[in-house]
Structure 1
Amino acid sequence: MALGLFRVCLVVVTAVINHPLLFPRENTTVPENEEEIIRKMQAHQERLQLERLRLEEEVAQLAAEEAPEQRGAEESQQQQHDTRTAWDLWSTLCMILFLMIEVWRQDHHQDEPSPECLAADEDELPGQEGAPLPGLTLPSKSTLGHFYERCIRGATADAARTREFVEGFVDDLLEALRSLCNRDADMEVEDFIGVDSMYENWQVDKPLLCQLLVPFTPPEPYHFHPELWCSRRSQPLDRQGYGRIQVARADEDALGCVCGKTKLGEDMLCLLHSKPRGEAAGELLCAPDSPYLDALLVMKWFQTALTRAWHRIAHKYDFDLAFGQLDTPGSLKIKFRSGKCMPFNLIPAVQCEDSDLYFVSHLAREPPLASGTDWLLSFAVYERRFLRMTSKALPEGACHLSCLQIASFLLSKQSRLTGPSALGSFHLKTALLHLLLARRPADWKAAQLDVRLHELLRFLEKSLLEKKLHHFFMGNRKVPASLGLPEAVRQAEPLNLFRPFVLQRSLYRKTLDSFYEMLKNAPALISEYSLHGSADPAGPPHKAGVL
């Protein structure tokens, strides 16, 4: 009897220890669906029942061998009754135990990062900052509201005037650029498109910065043929969201002219192109010996064209124009006589077919391009459209943009304190877009500002711990079809924006430490600025070049 009870206890303890949710191993993973968990628990239960039947037989045999022959049938029946009672008790305890495990999983599995992530990166997490958000105490609603009104709303009150001034000047600058271009040989510049925080009404950082896409097209009879990389079967994971732009003639197929498939001499003329291929490719800003548009050549062309255009209209304005950052095309800065500066960015872009997707030569949040023919895919127009569409369904005075502004303000202050990290305002906006899609419109009332802000920060922490933050549009089938997103993008595989953290351990540690430091400083920072107001400096100076 004692041996049987010991074996039962051993089986129960083994089942509990081997349960993946209570004692995760380094290479174990949490099942992705409930059916898999139920199936495994049923298999555990069946094994326990079989073990119970086998042990009952062994106990009965031991009892028959050890019991004296003079014991009556009444004692034997009593012993069997006691054995069954003990087994029933242990079986009941096992079922209760597994039921408690299942209830615990339902309550906590959705809110906690997967055990495999925590186990794999346990040495990278700060020892004293393991779970700061449950203990994060934001200031009272009145303090938070006062902080927003005094430090954020007041700081962005002149955003409309800034946009109006910059747009008027850029219109004049681009018109001068067009007048200097040869329409039969040069790229044709179209009207600009305002994107990002200044046009989504959540700009916080000073000075106010306008981001303007400037689409351009090739001269006739050429046209652009974009190649979008959405599938990892065609490109590696780190190139998802990129693409190439092929330059072709209107009377050619996508593979190019026949002269590209024939070995012609250097001085041989193509009757269709009417000039040597090397000369034609150079004029169309293609990479050497390639039909694909070179982003580096486009950047140089754009800077040169802007310089010529400014020299043509400079006499009309009482200020100077300079490049803000020499390694970024279109990063411009208006310098007034008073010493005040007004920066803005003009970003050369190529429209992706008939959609509102644009290939751009650069983005501030992205590392330098590995190849000159690789172009980044910008969803900025769709981001602005989604926020505008969502705002129509939200209550009046909804707090969604307020949450984004406060989080961006805290991140900006932390970056100036400890230096920039891999976490940027684009990641904050991505997290907000996910929450907007997941929550009901009624959850974004103005009175819920503190709750939604806490939820946004918690979402970011969970994403950092799991090293997983999916791009909002790429591969997201929950995005409303009315947004007009191309079906190839909706059906693509999800793009993880935090994938670099998997390989770059030092960058991940620095970003995580900076994030936790920001959370630690947030309550005191909000309280202090709500009392004394905010006067953001213009930020560190950049190397500039006068046009």
Structure 2
Amino acid sequence: MAMGLFRVCLVVVTAIINHPLLFPRENATVPENEEEIIRKMQEHQEKLQLEQLRLEEEVARLAAEKEALERVAEEGKQQNEARAAWDLWSTLCMILFLIIEVWRQDHQDGPSPECPGGDEDELHGLGSTPLRGLTLPDKATLSHFYERCIRGVTADTARTREFIEGFVDDLLEALRSLCNRDTDMEVEDFIGVDSMYENWQVDRPLLCDLFVPFTPPEPYRFHPELWCSSRSVPLHRQGYGKIKVVQADADALGCVCGKTKLGEDMLCLLHSKNNTVQPSGKMEDLLCSRDSLHLDTMQVMKWFQTALTRAWHRIAHKYDFDLAFSQLDSPGSLKIKFRSGKFMPFNLIPVIQCDDSDLYFVSHLPREPSWETMDSSTDWLLSFAVYERHFLRVTSKALPEGSCHLSCLQIASFLLSKQSRLTGPSGLSTYHLKTALLHLLLLRRATDWKAGQLNARLHDLLCFLEKSLLEKKLHHFFIGNRKVPETMGLPEAVRRAEPLNLFRTFVLHRSLYRKTVDSFYEMLKNAPALVSEYSLHVPVDHASLPQKAVIL
């Protein structure tokens, strides 16, 4: 009980002592301390607010930068996706165009080629005459022109061939009699090629082209190297090859190190570490290029001209005419000069047979254009002249009697020859005309070449040529042409080679292309006047109105 009272009294005393009204002076500083504390707290709060504003501004700036970066990245991603989609679409379009082009060239079958309407961009600035409204001779005029001006030339070819062949037989026999079979080249019998032997010669004077194959003395032989056996050959060298001189039944120069296993301490004295043959001094006697095993065209030309000169001196006393070289830069461009002043040209062309085929390598082409000269003296042009003659002969047997295919070629060749004399030679040659005709013979049915369809087929030929000129593309008839019958016996390497564009020169020589196109259209424009000039005596009942030509 006493303890409880004590506790109550203690509480009361403590409350009285701590009451602010009873002891005012002791508690006078409390309000002042609170104001100071409040002031400091307000200052600190202001600092915190300022710091918060700064932090908020910093966060906003970082957020804006991040948003800008994300926006730039998104735009870049969209652009990359659009570019990738465009590249994919361009690639697909290119592949589609290539497929269409391959299909059009290799699988499109039709009775006749399509005639283009003309490419304005390609012809812009060429100065050519448009073909719209151009008149071509009708069937009666062309037939009369052919009978009057061309058939007479064809009739004279038989007599010319007989005379030239008899003389060349005698000349080559004299050449063989002067050669040493152990050391000199052996000359074989000649082979007649080109227009004279294909019955479409129109130019006068009549010109015989004769291949003269030759082989090396034993034990050597020629090893042809075709361009299609190597992928490193540039485009403008396709169609050429090299001739390597080797020994029969052995490696080059007869070395047997490739066939015999030599010991580690044995060394071949003919071959270096790179296994290359070291040419000997005898190779120059075999008409090879200096320090090379390949046959040199210049050496062959000098040898052939010297051999022909010696052979002529041996038999000159038997003939009442003179023999001379008409072109010194061609090995066998000869000319017979009679006492009356007349002359008779012909070409003896030294060639090398390609294996066992009818392909021949030619050292020099007579009347070779300056823009198609060979880059190296060891380059030989591959000639298909024998195959072309054989193809025309076989095709003629399948065509109707009196077919007009050769007549078309003769008229086109006549027009080209007259135009070349007026404006000078161009990039278009008679070989291009013949190549176009060979392609048309495969495209057309046999019944389309009847004699009465001469004007229509001539139109097709000129149309084909114009289309090829505009595209700057005229494929060689035999090289890479799978449509040629296998019975022709072409080597498989030639059949499977890439097609050879005979107009590839026009891609690099723009001035030559302009001149060729101008000359071609000028020839077409002058065709009616030329035919009329050489057909003055056309019967009245045959003089029908000329037909309008379809745009080529």
Separation in structure 2 between the aligned mates of residue 35 and residue 529 of structure 1, nearest angstrom = 43
Aligned residue for 2:312, secondary structure, equals helix
For residue 418 of structure 1, report the CA deviation from its aligned partner: 0.6
Query: Partner amino acid for 2:172?
Result: L
Residue aligning to 2:482: 477
Residue aligning to 2:375: 370
For residue 250 of structure 1, report the CA deviation from its aligned partner: 1.4
- 8 Å CA contact 1:323–1:330 kept in 2: the answer is yes
Residue aligning to 1:220: 218
Q: Deviations over 1:190-221 (max 9, x none)?
A: 00000000000000000000000000000000
For residue 509 of structure 1, report the CA deviation from its aligned partner: 0.4
Q: Is structure 2 residue 489 aligned with structure 1 residue 423?
A: no
Separation in structure 2 between the aligned mates of residue 389 and residue 252 of structure 1, nearest angstrom = 39
1:406 pairs, out of 401, 404, 411, with 411
Query: Partner amino acid for 1:398?
Result: S
TM-score, length basis structure 2: 0.72
Q: In the TM superposition, what are the counterparts of 1:306-325 in structure 2 within 5 Å?
A: 306-325=308-327
Residue aligning to 2:495: 490
Residue aligning to 2:116: 112
Residue aligning to 2:255: 257
For residue 424 of structure 1, report the CA deviation from its aligned partner: 0.5
Residue aligning to 1:142: 140
Q: Deviations over 1:139-177 (max 9, x none)?
A: 221111110001000123211000000000000000000
Aligned residue for 2:137, secondary structure, equals coil
Query: Partner amino acid for 1:465?
Result: L
5+ residue gaps, structure 2, are 1-92, 104-109, 259-266, 272-276, 539-552
Residue aligning to 2:399: 394
1:294 pairs, out of 296, 301, 323, with 296
- 8 Å CA contact 1:195–1:211 kept in 2: the answer is yes
Separation in structure 1 between the aligned mates of residue 256 and residue 230 of structure 2, nearest angstrom = 31
Residue aligning to 1:450: 455
Residue aligning to 2:129: 129
Separation in structure 2 between the aligned mates of residue 503 and residue 35 of structure 1, nearest angstrom = 23
Separation in structure 2 between the aligned mates of residue 194 and residue 490 of structure 1, nearest angstrom = 24
Q: Deviations over 1:80-130 (max 9, x none)?
A: xxxxxxxxxxxxxxxxxxxxxxxxxx9x99543897xx64x454533x534
CA pair 314-444 structure 1, distance change in 2 beyond 3 A: same
Q: Is structure 2 residue 31 aligned with structure 1 residue 31?
A: no
Separation in structure 1 between the aligned mates of residue 309 and residue 257 of structure 2, nearest angstrom = 36
1:241 pairs, out of 239, 242, 257, with 239
For residue 412 of structure 1, report the CA deviation from its aligned partner: 0.3
CA pair 518-298 structure 1, distance change in 2 beyond 3 A: same
CA pair 313-458 structure 1, distance change in 2 beyond 3 A: same
For residue 528 of structure 1, report the CA deviation from its aligned partner: 1.1
For residue 135 of structure 1, report the CA deviation from its aligned partner: 3.3
Once the two structures are aligned, what percentage of the paired residues are identical?
Answer: 74
CA RMSD of aligned residues (A): 2.8
CA pair 33-301 structure 1, distance change in 2 beyond 3 A: same
> For this pair of structures, how many residues does the alignment match?
423
Q: Deviations over 1:7-34 (max 9, x none)?
A: xxxxxxxxxxxxxxxxxxxx99992456
Residue aligning to 1:92: none
- 8 Å CA contact 1:227–1:246 kept in 2: the answer is yes
Q: In the TM superposition, what are the counterparts of 1:86-101 in structure 2 within 5 Å?
A: none
Separation in structure 1 between the aligned mates of residue 465 and residue 198 of structure 2, nearest angstrom = 21
For residue 257 of structure 1, report the CA deviation from its aligned partner: 3.1
Aligned residue for 1:163, secondary structure, equals helix
For residue 282 of structure 1, report the CA deviation from its aligned partner: 1.1
Residue aligning to 1:191: 189
Which structure has the larger Rg over C-alpha atoms?
Answer: 2
Q: Is structure 2 residue 168 aligned with structure 1 residue 170?
A: yes
- 8 Å CA contact 2:387–2:488 kept in 1: the answer is yes
Separation in structure 2 between the aligned mates of residue 291 and residue 400 of structure 1, nearest angstrom = 45
Separation in structure 2 between the aligned mates of residue 239 and residue 193 of structure 1, nearest angstrom = 26
5+ residue gaps, structure 1, are 1-26, 38-105, 266-272, 534-547
- 8 Å CA contact 1:365–1:424 kept in 2: the answer is no
Residue aligning to 1:351: 353
Aligned residue for 1:420, secondary structure, equals coil
Residue aligning to 1:16: none
Separation in structure 2 between the aligned mates of residue 365 and residue 532 of structure 1, nearest angstrom = 37
- 8 Å CA contact 1:114–1:466 kept in 2: the answer is no
TM-score, length basis structure 1: 0.73
Separation in structure 2 between the aligned mates of residue 166 and residue 110 of structure 1, nearest angstrom = 43
Q: Identify which of structures 1 and 2 has the higher relative contact order when contacts are C-alpha pairs closer than 8 Å and 6+ apart.
A: 2
